[in-house]
Amino acid sequence: MCQRDDGGISTYKPRLVTASGHVLIVGASAAGLSTAEALRRNGHQGRLTLLDAEPHLPYDRPPLSKQVLAGAWEPERARLRGQAQLEALGAEFARGEPAVALDAAERTVTTASGRVLRGDAVVIATGLTPCRLPGQDGLAGVHVLRGLDDALALRALLTAGTRLVVVGEGVLGGEIAATARGLGLEVTLAGMGRAVLGDQLGDEIGGLLTRTHAERGVRLRLGAAVDALTGEAGQVTGVRLAGGELLPADAVVVAVGCRPATGWLEGSGLTLGDGVECDARCRAAEGVYAVGDVASFVHEGLGRRLRLENRTNATEQAQTVAANILGADRPYAPIPYFWTDQYDVKIQAHGLPSPAAEVAIAEGDPEQRRFAALYREDGRVTGVLGWNMPKQARLLRQRTLTTPPLPPT
């Protein structure tokens, strides 16, 4: 048993998994698969099982709204690992086998087909479920984009001349709008916020991104709530905004955010808030861990809970979870980081940029559409943003952001 000085933050006892123990991972996307790989790399020789609701080999999600949706990549190219690499893991993959229940005290997981599996450690990596609009399920032509099948179904609709309405001005909505414009569609982007990515990056940077979309010919309806989807004979015909305007549409993408996929954990004994609530070591209960989009963890540097919906978090957190399963005592206190590619704009955001911060250009020139910016709150740097300046942003991050601690927000 390892020694800990947890200062009251780490609430669950570690449970050492021996070399012969069984680690059961629920979810085989980036976070789950990375956890499995890190376990093997760290010397775990025991049984390893990955349950996944997906029928596909594990794939990466960031390309779905870009290269896969554009048709530039065939789906196979988005695979996280090849067949041989997956086999080399020595893990049992149960695909198309969603977990439907967990007993945290017993560490047993029940699957949809009725299998019951018990792990010496259980890792929850079930990710997110996209939010939907009322009435969308009965209408053809309305899509969310979360999984590979979503991307392929949507891709089939994206032919030049099609009128597409994207609902949601966040990262996913912006990327889909950009991809669709690149394919020659008529695109309208509607969202509640004042600017594309305004909720994430503030009005100044969000405003610049909004102008980029306008210059590329996207019709923007921002600060606009959706009142209803309209349809005829089961096929979507448009999106009606709260102000009364009707946006005609042959296809609609709903990108209004996601919820942690925790429905299957009701009654598990775990604390479910905004995701699976974990301590600073990513433990949700003794021997039960959560990783990736679904995990709400205590960030010791910030002194508060954080749940990160980004790709880098999935793999970084997996390293910590795997180490802790095997007896380490590592708090997870990352510098958050996400990127988004829209048209020829590559945005990289380190730390916790927020609309509340003051933004100052540190390098480059926004007029040249190539710059790096610092976000400051109470005089302290809280975030670094690169706009077509990834290396410079990374260097700024190294100079200005530390872990831990990040400044409180």
State the nearest-atom distance from the C-beta of 342 to another protein, in Å.
Answer: 13
Interacting stretch for another protein, rule CB under 8 A, among 93-101, 119-127, 216-224, 338-346?
338-346
Residue from 258, 330, 390, 409 touching another protein (CB under 8 A): that is 390
State the nearest-atom distance from the C-beta of 316 to another protein, in Å.
Answer: 5
Residues 267-326 within binding reach of another protein (CB under 8 A): 311-312, 315-316, 318-319
- Map residues 318-337 to x or -, x wherever contact with another protein holds by CB under 8 A: xx-----------------x
| Greatest distance between any 2 Cα atoms in the chain | 65
Residue from 13, 41, 115, 118 touching another protein (CB under 8 A): that is 41
**Rounded-to-integer distance, Cα 47 and Cα 358, Å:** 50
Give 10 or 348: the residue with its C-beta nearer to another protein.
348
**Position 341 contacts another protein (CB under 8 A):** yes
Phi, psi of 323 (to 5 degrees): -65, -45
Interacting stretch for another protein, rule CB under 8 A, among 32-40, 137-145, 148-156, 300-308?
32-40
State the nearest-atom distance from the C-beta of 253 to another protein, in Å.
Answer: 22
**Rounded-to-integer distance, Cα 159 and Cα 173, Å:** 18
Interacting stretch for another protein, rule CB under 8 A, among 14-22, 30-38, 223-231, 248-256?
30-38
- Structure-token pair, residue 238: 């448009």
Residue from 386, 401, 406, 407 touching another protein (CB under 8 A): that is 386
Q: Give the number of other CB atoms < 10 A from CB of residue 391.
A: 10
State the nearest-atom distance from the C-beta of 339 to another protein, in Å.
Answer: 6
Residue from 23, 24, 28, 38 touching another protein (CB under 8 A): that is 38
- Map residues 347-366 to x or -, x wherever contact with another protein holds by CB under 8 A: -x------------------
Give 81 or 211: the residue with its C-beta nearer to another protein.
81
Residues 47-76 within binding reach of another protein (CB under 8 A): 60, 62
Give 80 or 241: the residue with its C-beta nearer to another protein.
80
Number of residues in contact with another protein under rule CB under 8 A = 26
State the nearest-atom distance from the C-beta of 337 to another protein, in Å.
Answer: 7
Residue from 185, 241, 254, 389 touching another protein (CB under 8 A): that is 389
State the nearest-atom distance from the C-beta of 312 to another protein, in Å.
Answer: 5
HSE on the CB side for 403, CA within 13 Å? 14
Q: Which residues pair with 358 in a beta bridge?
A: 376
Give the footprint of another protein on this chain (CB under 8 A).
Answer: 34, 37-38, 41, 60, 62, 80-81, 311-312, 315-316, 318-319, 337, 339, 341, 346, 348, 386, 388-391, 394, 398
